[in-house]
Amino acid sequence: MFAYEESLPHVDLAFTDRQGGVSTGPWASLNLAASNGDDEDSVRRNVAAAVQALGGDPAEAWLMRQVHGAEVHVVDGAPDTVPPEADALVTARPGAVLVVRVADCLPIVLADDEARVVGVAHAGRRGVVLDVAAATAEAMRDLGARQISAWIGPRICGRCYEVPEEMRGEVAARLPVAWAETTWGTPALDLAAAAAEQLEKVGVSVHDLASEHAVCTYEDEERYFSYRRQGEKSGRLGGLVRIRP
Protein backbone atom coordinates (compact mmCIF):
# COMPACT_ATOMS: atom_id res chain seq x y z
CA MET A 1 0.00 0.00 0.00
CA PHE A 2 2.53 2.58 1.14
CA ALA A 3 6.08 2.81 -0.16
CA TYR A 4 6.71 5.32 2.58
CA GLU A 5 4.69 6.89 5.36
CA GLU A 6 5.38 9.32 8.13
CA SER A 7 3.37 10.81 10.97
CA LEU A 8 4.41 14.20 12.32
CA PRO A 9 2.77 15.64 15.44
CA HIS A 10 -0.09 17.16 13.40
CA VAL A 11 0.34 15.81 9.87
CA ASP A 12 0.19 12.37 8.20
CA LEU A 13 1.82 11.82 4.81
CA ALA A 14 2.45 8.83 2.56
CA PHE A 15 3.37 7.67 -0.93
CA THR A 16 1.65 4.63 -2.38
CA ASP A 17 3.15 1.73 -4.28
CA ARG A 18 1.14 -0.47 -6.68
CA GLN A 19 0.22 -3.17 -4.17
CA GLY A 20 -2.95 -3.71 -2.13
CA GLY A 21 -5.64 -2.46 -4.54
CA VAL A 22 -8.46 -4.08 -6.56
CA SER A 23 -7.49 -3.20 -10.15
CA THR A 24 -6.29 -5.90 -12.54
CA GLY A 25 -4.22 -6.18 -15.73
CA PRO A 26 -1.76 -3.34 -16.35
CA TRP A 27 -3.38 -1.46 -13.45
CA ALA A 28 -2.80 -4.19 -10.87
CA SER A 29 -3.47 -3.37 -8.32
CA LEU A 30 -3.52 -0.02 -6.47
CA ASN A 31 -4.09 2.25 -9.48
CA LEU A 32 -5.31 5.71 -8.39
CA ALA A 33 -6.52 7.20 -11.72
CA ALA A 34 -9.01 6.15 -14.40
CA SER A 35 -7.63 8.36 -17.20
CA ASN A 36 -5.62 5.35 -18.42
CA GLY A 37 -8.69 3.20 -19.13
CA ASP A 38 -9.06 1.41 -15.80
CA ASP A 39 -12.51 0.80 -14.32
CA GLU A 40 -13.75 3.91 -12.49
CA ASP A 41 -15.30 2.00 -9.63
CA SER A 42 -12.06 0.09 -8.99
CA VAL A 43 -10.14 3.38 -8.98
CA ARG A 44 -12.62 4.90 -6.52
CA ARG A 45 -12.13 1.93 -4.22
CA ASN A 46 -8.34 2.18 -4.52
CA VAL A 47 -8.32 5.90 -3.71
CA ALA A 48 -10.64 5.28 -0.74
CA ALA A 49 -8.38 2.48 0.53
CA ALA A 50 -5.27 4.68 0.36
CA VAL A 51 -7.03 7.59 2.07
CA GLN A 52 -8.31 5.29 4.83
CA ALA A 53 -4.89 3.73 5.31
CA LEU A 54 -3.65 7.25 6.03
CA GLY A 55 -6.42 7.58 8.63
CA GLY A 56 -8.50 9.87 6.44
CA ASP A 57 -12.13 9.99 5.30
CA PRO A 58 -12.62 9.22 1.56
CA ALA A 59 -15.30 11.95 1.46
CA GLU A 60 -12.52 14.43 2.26
CA ALA A 61 -10.19 13.29 -0.56
CA TRP A 62 -9.07 16.06 -2.89
CA LEU A 63 -7.90 14.99 -6.35
CA MET A 64 -6.75 17.16 -9.26
CA ARG A 65 -7.13 17.11 -13.01
CA GLN A 66 -3.40 17.52 -13.62
CA VAL A 67 -2.29 19.30 -16.78
CA HIS A 68 1.51 19.68 -16.39
CA GLY A 69 1.08 23.33 -15.36
CA ALA A 70 1.91 25.35 -12.27
CA GLU A 71 -1.60 26.26 -11.09
CA VAL A 72 -2.03 25.90 -7.30
CA HIS A 73 -5.55 25.32 -5.99
CA VAL A 74 -6.36 26.39 -2.42
CA VAL A 75 -8.57 23.85 -0.62
CA ASP A 76 -10.84 25.45 1.96
CA GLY A 77 -14.02 23.41 1.92
CA ALA A 78 -15.42 19.97 1.11
CA PRO A 79 -14.27 18.44 -2.21
CA ASP A 80 -16.03 19.52 -5.41
CA THR A 81 -17.75 16.85 -7.50
CA VAL A 82 -15.36 17.62 -10.35
CA PRO A 83 -11.72 17.90 -9.22
CA PRO A 84 -10.08 21.27 -9.95
CA GLU A 85 -7.73 21.64 -12.91
CA ALA A 86 -4.41 22.20 -11.16
CA ASP A 87 -1.01 20.64 -10.51
CA ALA A 88 -0.80 21.53 -6.84
CA LEU A 89 -3.13 21.69 -3.85
CA VAL A 90 -2.56 23.50 -0.56
CA THR A 91 -4.67 23.69 2.56
CA ALA A 92 -4.91 24.60 6.23
CA ARG A 93 -8.16 22.63 6.53
CA PRO A 94 -7.85 19.78 9.06
CA GLY A 95 -9.08 16.45 7.71
CA ALA A 96 -8.77 17.32 4.01
CA VAL A 97 -6.67 14.65 2.28
CA LEU A 98 -4.68 16.11 -0.62
CA VAL A 99 -3.75 13.60 -3.32
CA VAL A 100 -1.27 13.96 -6.19
CA ARG A 101 -1.19 11.19 -8.82
CA VAL A 102 1.86 10.27 -10.89
CA ALA A 103 3.59 7.66 -13.02
CA ASP A 104 7.30 8.56 -13.27
CA CYS A 105 6.72 12.31 -12.62
CA LEU A 106 7.66 13.63 -9.18
CA PRO A 107 5.04 13.40 -6.45
CA ILE A 108 5.89 16.14 -3.94
CA VAL A 109 4.29 16.40 -0.50
CA LEU A 110 4.90 19.52 1.60
CA ALA A 111 4.11 20.37 5.20
CA ASP A 112 4.67 22.92 7.91
CA ASP A 113 3.70 20.72 10.81
CA GLU A 114 3.78 23.44 13.41
CA ALA A 115 1.76 25.98 11.39
CA ARG A 116 -0.51 23.13 10.21
CA VAL A 117 -0.39 23.90 6.50
CA VAL A 118 0.14 21.18 3.87
CA GLY A 119 0.42 20.81 0.11
CA VAL A 120 1.01 18.41 -2.78
CA ALA A 121 2.48 19.04 -6.22
CA HIS A 122 2.83 17.13 -9.49
CA ALA A 123 6.11 17.91 -11.21
CA GLY A 124 7.07 16.35 -14.51
CA ARG A 125 9.47 17.94 -16.94
CA ARG A 126 7.14 20.84 -17.71
CA GLY A 127 6.18 21.32 -14.08
CA VAL A 128 9.82 21.50 -13.06
CA VAL A 129 10.58 24.06 -15.78
CA LEU A 130 7.56 26.10 -14.56
CA ASP A 131 8.76 25.62 -10.95
CA VAL A 132 5.46 24.33 -9.63
CA ALA A 133 7.23 23.26 -6.41
CA ALA A 134 8.21 26.80 -5.43
CA ALA A 135 4.73 28.06 -6.40
CA THR A 136 3.25 25.50 -4.01
CA ALA A 137 5.53 26.59 -1.15
CA GLU A 138 4.59 30.21 -1.82
CA ALA A 139 0.87 29.40 -1.69
CA MET A 140 1.44 27.60 1.61
CA ARG A 141 3.16 30.70 3.02
CA ASP A 142 0.04 32.70 2.06
CA LEU A 143 -1.83 30.33 4.40
CA GLY A 144 0.61 30.94 7.25
CA ALA A 145 3.36 28.36 6.67
CA ARG A 146 6.89 29.35 7.74
CA GLN A 147 9.13 26.27 8.12
CA ILE A 148 8.21 24.05 5.19
CA SER A 149 9.55 20.56 4.60
CA ALA A 150 9.10 18.69 1.31
CA TRP A 151 9.19 14.98 0.53
CA ILE A 152 9.84 13.81 -3.05
CA GLY A 153 8.39 10.33 -3.56
CA PRO A 154 8.85 7.46 -6.02
CA ARG A 155 9.69 8.64 -9.57
CA ILE A 156 11.84 7.74 -12.53
CA CYS A 157 15.51 8.37 -11.74
CA GLY A 158 17.98 10.50 -13.62
CA ARG A 159 19.75 7.41 -14.95
CA CYS A 160 16.57 6.10 -16.62
CA TYR A 161 14.71 9.25 -17.75
CA GLU A 162 16.02 9.41 -21.30
CA VAL A 163 15.22 12.51 -23.38
CA PRO A 164 16.38 13.88 -26.75
CA GLU A 165 19.71 15.70 -26.63
CA GLU A 166 18.05 19.00 -27.54
CA MET A 167 15.55 18.71 -24.68
CA ARG A 168 18.29 17.97 -22.18
CA GLY A 169 20.10 21.06 -23.46
CA GLU A 170 17.04 23.30 -23.07
CA VAL A 171 16.24 22.17 -19.54
CA ALA A 172 19.85 22.09 -18.34
CA ALA A 173 20.41 25.63 -19.67
CA ARG A 174 17.94 26.79 -17.01
CA LEU A 175 18.56 24.09 -14.44
CA PRO A 176 22.11 22.76 -14.75
CA VAL A 177 21.61 20.23 -11.94
CA ALA A 178 19.03 18.44 -14.13
CA TRP A 179 21.71 17.38 -16.65
CA ALA A 180 22.02 13.60 -16.56
CA GLU A 181 22.98 10.55 -18.57
CA THR A 182 21.27 7.16 -18.69
CA THR A 183 23.07 4.03 -17.55
CA TRP A 184 23.20 3.13 -21.28
CA GLY A 185 24.97 6.40 -22.12
CA THR A 186 22.25 8.58 -23.70
CA PRO A 187 20.96 12.06 -22.70
CA ALA A 188 18.72 12.17 -19.63
CA LEU A 189 17.23 14.52 -17.03
CA ASP A 190 17.31 14.31 -13.25
CA LEU A 191 14.10 16.12 -12.39
CA ALA A 192 14.25 15.31 -8.67
CA ALA A 193 17.64 17.01 -8.36
CA ALA A 194 16.22 20.09 -10.10
CA ALA A 195 13.07 20.23 -7.95
CA ALA A 196 15.10 19.74 -4.78
CA GLU A 197 17.28 22.69 -5.72
CA GLN A 198 14.26 24.83 -6.55
CA LEU A 199 12.70 24.07 -3.17
CA GLU A 200 15.91 24.72 -1.25
CA LYS A 201 16.23 28.07 -3.03
CA VAL A 202 12.94 29.18 -1.49
CA GLY A 203 13.89 27.97 1.97
CA VAL A 204 12.22 24.54 1.98
CA SER A 205 14.10 21.57 3.47
CA VAL A 206 13.91 18.56 1.18
CA HIS A 207 13.79 14.81 1.76
CA ASP A 208 14.28 13.04 -1.56
CA LEU A 209 12.98 9.65 -0.47
CA ALA A 210 13.72 8.02 -3.80
CA SER A 211 17.37 9.01 -3.65
CA GLU A 212 17.66 8.07 0.00
CA HIS A 213 16.15 4.63 -0.65
CA ALA A 214 17.39 4.14 -4.25
CA VAL A 215 13.86 3.94 -5.61
CA CYS A 216 13.12 4.23 -9.34
CA THR A 217 9.63 3.62 -10.73
CA TYR A 218 11.04 2.52 -14.10
CA GLU A 219 13.39 -0.05 -12.59
CA ASP A 220 11.09 -1.66 -10.02
CA GLU A 221 8.21 -3.24 -11.94
CA GLU A 222 6.93 -5.26 -9.01
CA ARG A 223 6.49 -2.29 -6.72
CA TYR A 224 5.70 0.70 -8.98
CA PHE A 225 3.81 1.82 -12.06
CA SER A 226 5.88 3.52 -14.75
CA TYR A 227 4.64 5.44 -17.76
CA ARG A 228 7.94 4.92 -19.53
CA ARG A 229 7.73 1.18 -19.03
CA GLN A 230 3.96 0.65 -19.43
CA GLY A 231 2.90 3.46 -21.78
CA GLU A 232 -0.63 4.92 -21.95
CA LYS A 233 -2.10 2.19 -19.75
CA SER A 234 0.28 2.82 -16.90
CA GLY A 235 -1.33 2.90 -13.46
CA ARG A 236 -0.87 5.88 -11.17
CA LEU A 237 0.86 6.11 -7.81
CA GLY A 238 -0.07 8.73 -5.25
CA GLY A 239 1.33 11.13 -2.70
CA LEU A 240 -1.10 11.92 0.15
CA VAL A 241 -1.06 14.36 3.04
CA ARG A 242 -3.52 15.56 5.65
CA ILE A 243 -3.62 17.63 8.82
CA ARG A 244 -5.07 15.41 11.53
CA PRO A 245 -8.43 16.87 12.62
Residue 216 interacts with Zn ion (CB under 5 A): yes or no: yes
Q: How far is the CB of 73 from Zn ion (least distance, A)?
A: 31
Residue 215 interacts with Zn ion (CB under 5 A): yes or no: no
CB 25 within 8 A of CB 213: no
Stretch that binds Zn ion, among 3-11, 54-62, 168-176, 210-218 (CB under 5 A): 210-218
Q: How far is the CB of 220 from Zn ion (least distance, A)?
A: 9
Smaller CB distance to Zn ion: residue 116 or 155?
A: 155
Q: How far is the CB of 5 from Zn ion (least distance, A)?
A: 22
Q: How many residues bind Zn ion (CB under 5 A)?
A: 5
Q: Which residues contact 86 (CB under 8 A, 6 or more apart)?
A: 64, 65, 66, 67, 69, 71, 72, 73
Alpha-carbon torsion 129, 103, 205, 159, what sign?
Answer: negative
Q: How far is the CB of 72 from Zn ion (least distance, A)?
A: 29
Q: What is the Cα–Cα distance from 47 to 29, expressed in whole angstroms?
A: 11
CA atoms within 13 A on the CB side of 11: 25
Smaller CB distance to Zn ion: residue 134 or 188?
A: 188
Stretch that binds Zn ion, among 29-37, 65-73, 125-133, 218-226 (CB under 5 A): 218-226
Smaller CB distance to Zn ion: residue 70 or 192?
A: 192
The 147-166 contact track toward Zn ion, x by CB under 5 A, reads ----------x--x------
CA atoms within 13 A on the CB side of 12: 17
Distances (CA, A) of 2 to 5, 202, 203: 6, 29, 28
Q: How far is the CB of 180 from Zn ion (least distance, A)?
A: 10
- Binder of Zn ion out of 48, 219, 220, 228 (CB under 5 A): 219
Q: How far is the CB of 215 from Zn ion (least distance, A)?
A: 9
Site for Zn ion in 16-55 (CB under 5 A): none
Q: Which residues bind Zn ion (CB under 5 A)?
A: 157, 160, 216, 218-219
